[in-house]
């Protein structure tokens, strides 16, 4: 009888073992392939950049796709130049970062220091000791380019303008702005410099990461101090160029006339930057020329939907044999008009995973190509959580099952 029981138990172990997933039975010493494993590397080839095809008078200029950061046209885009009040793009970026990180809100009050009230140039004529909400100040900064407001907000964020400027330069390094050095938060100090390309980088960061800023930069008119002071946007494109909702003008005698502009049409958002223009009208005309060129020659096409499955990935030691890889976001790319039918797709998945696998864990990438050149790259994620199954748990269940069979 005892011998029969042992044989029965051995038979149960053998049968259940053959039914278990291979993932569970894998050698515990075998190296697991995690989501951090290297993907098949695809060489990135930049779009062909058109160099001054528009015969611009600007000393430096660039047209950039905001979503991808790809340069569509440029002229001396890395030349270091004074940028005047275009500096305030970085000022707005750090303010918006502070707001979106929860350090303060649009409704919080900002006190006006004697130092900030003493700024020259464009200003909102604030008095020391006055208080205004962040919303009121952002209006004055984005629309009217008020220097006193820029300093007051800098003090709100970093405690002093000096510390804020350090933060500005640190952020510039983080964004890869290699031709930039800020000297103040206003652009009044002409010893500071940047380039059209760097201005486009920080402009892109501002509008893509903090789109709420467009509710300020896209206004043509507002008021300050309970309606007693009119604010008119220094960026005329906001009123006279369809869908333009930003971003920042700048002028000093050394810098000339500058503009970082942004417009979105049919899901294509462009950033144009012109620096060192001879006069105000030319900066607006050449900004329009850049934007017109972009919208005439490029378009955004929608490709795949968030959540759509791409394939399955084996999972070792998991309560399921595999996990589905899905698109982590809706995918779309910018292409030259007429190239929609040329888009090819490559999927790169990790070859395997070890449990536990977290939901939304990155498990691969999808790469879209046109004529062999990369046009877009997006993450693929795990569709669900896969829990780890331990050997102890497996065999405890086997023993329980064996005894229950024995009693039966």
Annotate 208-240 with three-state secondary structure: HHCHHHHHHHCCCEEEECCCCEEEECCCCHHHH
Other residues' Cβ atoms within 10 Å of the Cβ of residue 311: 13
Give the burial string for 51-63 (b: 16+ CB within 10 Å, else e): eeebebbbbbbbb
CA–CA distance, 50 with 54 (Å, rounded to integer): 9
Beta carbons within 8 Å of 14's beta carbon, 6+ residues apart: none
Please give the Cα distance from 50 to 302 (Å, whole number).
Answer: 25
**d(C-alpha 4, C-alpha 212), whole Å:** 75
Q: CA torsion 282→283→288→291, rounded to 10°? A: 140
Catalytic positions are 85, 88, 145
Cα gap 284→371, rounded to integer Å: 35
Alpha carbon distance 293, 297 (integer Å) = 6
Residues in CB range of 245: below 8 A, 6 or more apart: 214, 217, 218, 238, 262, 263, 264
Closest CA relative to residue 296, chosen from 73, 45, 41: 73
């Amino acid at each position: 009888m005892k011998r029969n029981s042992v044989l029965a138990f051995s038979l149960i172990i053998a049968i259940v073992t053959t039914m278990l997933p291979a993932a569970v039975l894998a050698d515990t010493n075998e190296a697991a392939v995690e989501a951090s494993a290297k993907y098949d590397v695809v060489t990135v080839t930049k779009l062909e950049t058109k160099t001054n095809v528009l015969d611009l008078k600007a000393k430096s200029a660039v047209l950039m796709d905001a979503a991808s950061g790809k340069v569509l046209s440029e002229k001396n885009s890395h030349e270091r130049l004074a940028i005047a009040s275009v500096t305030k793009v970085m000022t707005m970026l750090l303010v918006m970062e502070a707001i979106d990180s929860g350090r303060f809100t649009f409704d919080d009050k900002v006190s006006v220091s004697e130092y900030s009230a003493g700024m020259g140039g464009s200003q909102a004529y604030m008095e020391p000791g006055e208080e205004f909400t962040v919303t009121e100040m952002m209006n004055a900064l984005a629309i009217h380019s008020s220097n006193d407001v820029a300093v007051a907000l800098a003090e709100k964020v970093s405690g002093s303008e000096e510390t804020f400027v350090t933060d500005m330069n640190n952020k510039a390094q983080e964004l890869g702005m290699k031709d930039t050095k800020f000297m103040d938060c206003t652009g009044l100090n002409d010893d500071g410099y940047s380039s059209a390309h760097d201005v486009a980088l920080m402009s892109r960061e501002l509008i893509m990461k903090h789109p709420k800023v467009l509710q300020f930069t896209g206004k043509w008119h507002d008021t300050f101090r309970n309606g007693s002071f009119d604010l008119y946007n220094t960026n005329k494109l906001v009123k006279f160029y369809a869908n333009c909702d930003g971003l920042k003008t700048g002028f000093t005698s050394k810098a000339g006339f500058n503009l970082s502009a942004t417009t979105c049409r049919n899901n294509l958002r462009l950033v144009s930057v012109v620096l060192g223009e001879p006069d105000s009208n030319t900066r607006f005309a050449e900004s329009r020329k850049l934007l017109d060129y972009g919208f005439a020659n490029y378009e955004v096409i929608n490709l795949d939907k968030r959540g759509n499955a791409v394939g399955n990935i084996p999972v070792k030691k998991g309560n399921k044999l595999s996990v589905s890889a899905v698109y982590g976001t809706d995918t779309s790319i910018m292409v030259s008009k007429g190239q929609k039918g040329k888009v090819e797709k490559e999927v790169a998945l990790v070859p395997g995973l070890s449990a536990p696998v977290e939901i939304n864990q990155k498990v691969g990438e999808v790469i879209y190509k046109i004529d062999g050149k990369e046009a877009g790259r997006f993450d693929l994620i795990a569709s669900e959580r896969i829990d780890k199954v331990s050997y102890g748990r497996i065999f405890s269940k086997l023993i329980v099952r064996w005894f229950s069979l024995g009693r039966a």
